Structure 1
Amino acid sequence: MKQFHIKPFRKLPALFFVASIACCSPATLLAGQSESSILSNATLRAAHTDTDRVIVKYKNNTSMGKITSMSTAQLDALAQRSGMGLRHIRRMADGAQVLQLDKQQYGIRMADVVSTLRADADVEYAEADIKMYPLFVPNDSRYNEQWQYFETTGGLNLPLAWDTTQGSGVVVAVIDTGYVAHADLAANILPGYDMISDATTAQDGNARDADARDNGDWEPAGACYTGSPSSNSSWHGTHVAGTIAAVTHNSTGVAGVANKAKVLPVRVLGRCGGYMSDIADGIIWAAGGTVSGVPANPDPAKVLNLSLGGSGSCSITSQNAINAARNFGATVVVAAGNENINASDSNPANCNGVVTVAATNRNGGRAYYSNFGSVVDVAAPGGDVTSGSGNGILSTLNAGTTTAGADSYAFYQGTSMATPHVAGVAALLYSVKPTITPDEVESTLKTTARVFPATCSQCGSGIVNAAAAVSAAATVTPPPPGNVLIKGVPVSGLAAASGNALTYTLNVPAGATNLSFAISGGSGDADLYVRYGTAPTTSAYDCRPYLSGNNETCNISTVQAGTYHVMVRAYTAFSGVSLVANYVEAVPGAGFTKTGLSATSGSWLNYTLAVPTGMSSLKVNMSGGTGDADLYVRFGSAPTTSSYNCRPYLAGNVEACHFTNPTAGTWFISVRAYSSFSGVTLDAQAAQ
């Protein structure tokens, strides 16, 4: 069976880790040094979105714009309009008012609060009264040697990203040689699993087991093939893991890119590499899938790092495993390879749906060994120790040449070293936007990457810019006032602390029937409240199932035209809940026309059309404007870049999707910006 290998400086099918230990001057630190008790400023800064204060500036030509304080009556009037209890703190120098939410409503998302206040015609602006902190710089003793994080020319622009997030709450799987214990990593390592099915490859006396420790991948001469040289243990997975999530700000060693994330070590590589079948199982298990004979993964990863590979086209086995991981919502980040060839011949770097990473040197140009080509998405620092060990990538290692010895640190080079930088940044994106999709992660990394400062032909969109990527992911478009629900479109990922509530509205047209509201999924205990005309409370509502768990439905038999108000309240803390509202229109809409549409690269415009029974055709046409928009149509649920009934995928904005005898029900029609576009017209018509 075909094997993937990672070997230092050899002409083998895969050379995804290139390092000479002899040239790298590894350093050793004592394992007993304690972690600093200082709470990082970035951790504090990341909590600023939990503020319970808001700044509101009323227009000068309104009565509220002239007041110096707010009376109880004025606060009551504002509370009635906004649906929130508020307390006046003070008037600012520019005339804006500082208000504080009642403690009972502290859990309401500040974005929702601000959105509601902005909808008031008397309000000039409203924004969260966030907290600010000094910029975070790690105190790790060798941080100054990690040029790839902070240097302007070849670095990732990480310090600014850390002031927003350090990856808390995210799991990153390192699918590699496993993990050797290291004091500068231990706090961020999860148990993981050893997926190596061959005892000789594993070198641990058995095959698959729950022990993901790296027992060393040293090789005697001739062990891998006739004439193969001997080699020391690489501790490759430990070096990769340190780049992703070394314990940071502990006055010891190095810093990690996503240093508040957790690493899930999945051992698939041992002596002479590893089998593709084991790697595929490791990918699926890491993302939360089921592997026969292996216990369920209690810590599914949102990011998978594969600093490995072999030659040839993408195998069916590899692609199927990657598809499974993506279906679980995981982003797969893969090394482009180190043969200085086109990565189109590197598997799994050439598979669909992965983020393929090339390596750059300290000057920001392509590292001499890095693969390249159209399959490469982005680049990141991989180092070049031939120009001096300090120009490599410093990370955690072990001093043992065969079995494990003392903790150490070493400079390595390779696309294996570039890849965990990108995986770490991907973890930062999931931390600020837990609902982000793998496609959105890739798009964000590519659209925010910075221009290469030196020659790097066919190295993707640019060098990953951590701060810009995090900023883009964290920028959420404010929801409509009152969080307006769209018929048949679920709102997912809802969460609230005990006693707190989320609020929504639904506008129902005249003649509608079979109105329903439903919550489902997730964990904890959420309660559904529905009321017509005004917001429900715990004692005033039209419907409240009041069941244990999160599966509740309100069916409204007598439907009124107008606004229905929905509250999802936490009886106990809940997360991962979905909310959907639906109704049947008396005369389903036969079509619509939208003009003047515009969107920035990678973003979506989404619409729905209720197609009546008995229609002979559905025609969706897009035309006009500038840029490049792509049309997607799907029945029953919103399309994605990989799931649709029709996607012409042409250059420009002239695209059409025509269906004969379309299925009655809700059709989802979306326009995605392949590149930024404006002035586009979208027409959708169902006809008999």
Structure 2
Amino acid sequence: MPTANYGAQGEPGFELEVDPDLIVVRARRGRGVPWRVGSVRTPLSGVLDDAALVEAYPEVGVEVYRLPPGSPSVEERKVRLNAAPEVRFAGRVLVDPGTEEPVLYTENIFLKFVDTATPEDCRTVLREAGLQLRQEVVYAANAYFAAAPEGTGQEVFAIANALLERDDVEYSHPELIRRRSRKTIFAEQWHLKPTVIGGVAIDAHANIEAAHLITRGAGVVVAVIDDGVDIDHPEFSGKVVAPRDATLRTDDPRPKDFFGTGPDGGDNHGTACAGVACANGILGASGVAPEARLMPIRLASGLGSQAEAHAFQWAADNGADVISCSWGPVDGDWFRPGDPVHNQVVPMPASTRLAVEYATTKGRAGKGCVILFAAGNGNESVDNDGYASSPMVVAVAACNDTGKRSVYSDFGKAVWCAFPSNDIGHPPFGHPDPRTPGIWTVDRRGADGYNPGSTDAGDLAGNFTNNFGGTSSATPGAAGIAALILSVNPDLTRQQVKDLLKASCDKIDPQGAAYGDDGHSDRYGFGRLNGLTAVRAARGARL
């Protein structure tokens, strides 16, 4: 089985295996192989007519299909596919043995040489290994993305591992792509202040309205790395800086809608996340830090991609103070305790880890960007998630409109804090129905977003949604509080902001939280964030 290693020499790697029923197809151009032209089938359409599409990466024209039992094999089908001019590559698919989740490789390798190596020596090693330099990484010394010859296939694992055995190589791993999971499930903004919704008094907020008497986040830039953001929405008017599409390498972060529009299809997630963090509050929804600037960074590439690392570098190099990430490895089903995905361990690749390290050490003129990650919506241990459990970031859990844990929210030692979000009733767990639909925030304008234009889902114009949630919503809320902190004390370091967040938490749910002697709960971290407490503490913080 192929083995990859995201760590240094001597650290344990992880094995992948071939799934006999999966086939990957990459188009030579466009978003996918043209099985039809309009309503007319192409000659290739019959090759995979009986197969089920299980994953797609339209930004690079890649699709993964599962073949039905007893049907022609991958080997039989790939011969015909590889002979077609429309197909760049067709072949077998590697999977995680524990979860059977597809893991795609690209024939690209990330390498970091030791800091004492010379650029000439590095390039010589690449050349002798038969690799072509693709990109010199600027966020780490002597780091490169290099490409093996097309057709190398799984031999790319052996090349990367052989390079890792060298004394002058610190990290070496293939670029591996997994499915990236979004962490989703005025008067209505109960997460910001006490309010009444549907005749029911809701008092489970993060004390943001009171914090706004001191600051509304002016002078701070919040980067939201997510899918597309509707930057033409009035709630983002006048606040967008350094927009970026990290996947397409353009300056247009607007939704691209590869899978259509509407509640289940479009690039809707990023707009809602940005709204929770820093919407202006001029039309119908305020963010936690409404006067902060917004740096929207669209990331549609898979987990572990080069684009992922580029997104963090872009944020740090272009003035982001806070970086909000409502995504990560795929979650298990929160309502299925036996789901094997609950036990899946997904490390952060060295290519991304070094980019995060760059942002947290070089960003903000050396004070470090504050990076927040969604803990996850799998009702499982966040400690298995190499992204949210990184000590360089803040992992955010979700609590509900009664001040208790949202049923889906991940738990564990890495949880740092909680922020209000939606919830779901689940009788098998004895978990009651929530009292609110979820979080009221910005939606893509018109019928393209979560709300197609219904007061049941938000407003009649379709500019706002009332049911955003998950740790996806909790994370930009916490990022907004980090922005409020930096607005009153911009000289704080990343670690000082993280410590202030810890000190600014309310100890909710004292009966169920199981706070330890250190004040930490696996469910809520150090508690639910309190915006007013945070900005007051930041004003008096000693540097």
TM-score normalised by structure 2 residue count: 0.54
Identify the match of residue 216 of structure 1 among 249, 257, 271: 257
Aligned-partner Cα distance in 2 for 1:170–1:432? 10
- Given that 1:344 and 1:373 are in contact with CA atoms closer than 8 Å, whether structure 2 keeps it comes out as yes
* Aligned counterpart, 1:322: 356
- Given that 1:215 and 1:404 are in contact with CA atoms closer than 8 Å, whether structure 2 keeps it comes out as no
Please tell me whether residue 257 in structure 1 is matched to residue 274 in structure 2: no
* Aligned counterpart, 1:161: 211
Aligned-partner Cα distance in 2 for 1:18–1:179? 16
Matches within 5 A, 1:669-688: none
Identify the match of residue 275 of structure 2 among 232, 242, 254: 242
Change (3 A) 1:14 1:340: farther
Aligned-partner Cα distance in 1 for 2:56–2:470? 16
* Aligned counterpart, 2:415: 376
The amino acid that maps onto 1:263 is L
Per-residue CA deviations over 1:322-377 (Å, capped at 9, x if unaligned) read 11001112100110011110001123101121011011111111111111100111
Please tell me whether residue 445 in structure 1 is matched to residue 501 in structure 2: yes
Unaligned runs of 5+ in 2: 5-15, 17-54, 58-100, 102-177, 195-201, 331-345, 426-432, 453-460, 514-520
* Aligned counterpart, 2:184: 18
Identify the match of residue 408 of structure 1 among 447, 454, 463: 463
Identify the match of residue 304 of structure 1 among 323, 328, 334: 323
Instruction: Tell me which of the two structures has the higher relative contact order, counting C-alpha pairs closer than 8 angstroms and 6 or more residues apart.
Output: 2
Change (3 A) 1:15 1:212: closer
Please tell me whether residue 390 in structure 1 is matched to residue 424 in structure 2: no
* Aligned counterpart, 1:516: none
Aligned-partner Cα distance in 1 for 2:421–2:305? 25
Aligned-partner Cα distance in 1 for 2:246–2:180? 20
- Given that 2:443 and 2:449 are in contact with CA atoms closer than 8 Å, whether structure 1 keeps it comes out as no
Change (3 A) 1:388 1:216: farther
1:15 Cα deviation after fit:
4.3
Please tell me whether residue 192 in structure 1 is matched to residue 233 in structure 2: no
- Given that 2:239 and 2:293 are in contact with CA atoms closer than 8 Å, whether structure 1 keeps it comes out as yes
* Aligned counterpart, 2:534: 469
Per-residue CA deviations over 1:140-184 (Å, capped at 9, x if unaligned) read xxx110101113742101122111110001000000112113122
- Given that 1:183 and 1:407 are in contact with CA atoms closer than 8 Å, whether structure 2 keeps it comes out as no
Change (3 A) 1:465 1:217: farther
Aligned-partner Cα distance in 1 for 2:503–2:180? 29
Aligned-partner Cα distance in 2 for 1:401–1:194? 19
Matches within 5 A, 1:609-628: none
1:317 Cα deviation after fit:
2.2
Identify the match of residue 350 of structure 1 among 377, 386, 389: 389
The amino acid that maps onto 1:467 is L
* Aligned counterpart, 2:477: 421
Aligned-partner Cα distance in 1 for 2:242–2:181? 28
Per-residue CA deviations over 1:557-582 (Å, capped at 9, x if unaligned) read xxxxxxxxxxxxxxxxxxxxxxxxxx
Matches within 5 A, 1:547-566: none
Per-residue CA deviations over 1:484-531 (Å, capped at 9, x if unaligned) read xxxxxxxxxxxxxxxxxxxxxxxxxxxxxxxxxxxxxxxxxxxxxxxx
The amino acid that maps onto 1:162 is H
* Aligned counterpart, 2:84: none
1:318 Cα deviation after fit:
2.5
Aligned-partner Cα distance in 2 for 1:285–1:320? 13
- Given that 2:507 and 2:527 are in contact with CA atoms closer than 8 Å, whether structure 1 keeps it comes out as yes
1:217 Cα deviation after fit:
4.8
Aligned-partner Cα distance in 2 for 1:4–1:324? 30
* Aligned counterpart, 2:305: 276
Change (3 A) 1:192 1:351: same
1:186 Cα deviation after fit:
2.2
1:243 Cα deviation after fit:
0.8
What is the number of residues matched between the two proteins?
317
The amino acid that maps onto 2:348 is C
Unaligned runs of 5+ in 1: 6-10, 20-142, 197-206, 221-229, 289-296, 478-603, 605-688
Identify the match of residue 340 of structure 1 among 379, 388, 399: 379
The amino acid that maps onto 1:396 is V
Aligned-partner Cα distance in 2 for 1:434–1:349? 25
1:187 Cα deviation after fit:
2.7
List 4+ stretches of structure 1 deviating above 6 A.
1-5, 402-406
Aligned-partner Cα distance in 1 for 2:258–2:269? 9
Please tell me whether residue 172 in structure 1 is matched to residue 188 in structure 2: no
Change (3 A) 1:160 1:389: closer
1:255 Cα deviation after fit:
1.0
Aligned-partner Cα distance in 2 for 1:460–1:193? 32
- Given that 1:14 and 1:337 are in contact with CA atoms closer than 8 Å, whether structure 2 keeps it comes out as no
Change (3 A) 1:402 1:423: closer
Change (3 A) 1:413 1:369: same
1:13 Cα deviation after fit:
5.8
Change (3 A) 1:310 1:4: farther
Q: Which has the larger radius of gyration?
A: 1
TM-score normalised by structure 1 residue count: 0.43
1:404 Cα deviation after fit:
12
Aligned-partner Cα distance in 1 for 2:56–2:394? 19
1:14 Cα deviation after fit:
5.4
SS at match of 1:212: coil
RMSD of aligned alpha carbons: 3.0
- Given that 2:303 and 2:329 are in contact with CA atoms closer than 8 Å, whether structure 1 keeps it comes out as no
* Aligned counterpart, 2:400: 361
Aligned-partner Cα distance in 2 for 1:384–1:4? 29
1:453 Cα deviation after fit:
3.0
The amino acid that maps onto 1:408 is N
The amino acid that maps onto 1:395 is T
Aligned-partner Cα distance in 1 for 2:437–2:377? 17
Per-residue CA deviations over 1:256-285 (Å, capped at 9, x if unaligned) read 110000110011126xx5653211110111
1:219 Cα deviation after fit:
6.1
The amino acid that maps onto 2:271 is T
SS at match of 1:339: coil
